[in-house]
Amino acid sequence: MTTAIRPRERDTLIQALRAGVVPRAGQHLIQVGRLKEIEALLKDIERIADGGTAFRLVIGEYGSGKTFFLNLVRAIAMEKKLVATSADLNPDRRLHGPAARLAPSTRS
């Protein structure tokens, strides 16, 4: 099965990959090997769209595809008119207290 890719979307994907960054759109066209994770998150998205709740942490080594995966899930959620947020957590960032430096990214 082949999927027709619009030239603009193709060019955006190729430029992002050449620059070594996660593409903002079109991840579904190049994503492989995460079927179980995608299915689990799709169930969460459906639950949320129906008025429920969900919370997940995605943990992995540097370069393992966390940002790519989360951008794909964010794009799916936004297609369903949901608001998506993420936060980059690491040992240098505190979640609370006077030195809290967490800066979540919210998109709608």
What are the DSSP calls for 18-83, one per residue?
A: HHTS--SS-GGGT--S-HHHHHHHHHHHHHHHTT----------TTSSHHHHHHHHHHHHHHTT--
Residue-range definition of the domain harbouring residue 19: 1-30
The verdict on 12 and 64 lying in the same domain is no
Cα 31 to the center of its chain, rounded Å: 12
The verdict on 22 and 64 lying in the same domain is no
**pTM of the full predicted structure?**
0.67
* pLDDT for the residue 96: 65
Average pLDDT over residues 77-100: 75
Report residue 97: phi and psi, to 5°: 90, 180
The verdict on 75 and 54 lying in the same domain is yes
Highest mean pLDDT among 20-29, 45-54, 86-95: 45-54
Is the pLDDT at 35 greater than 80? The verdict is yes
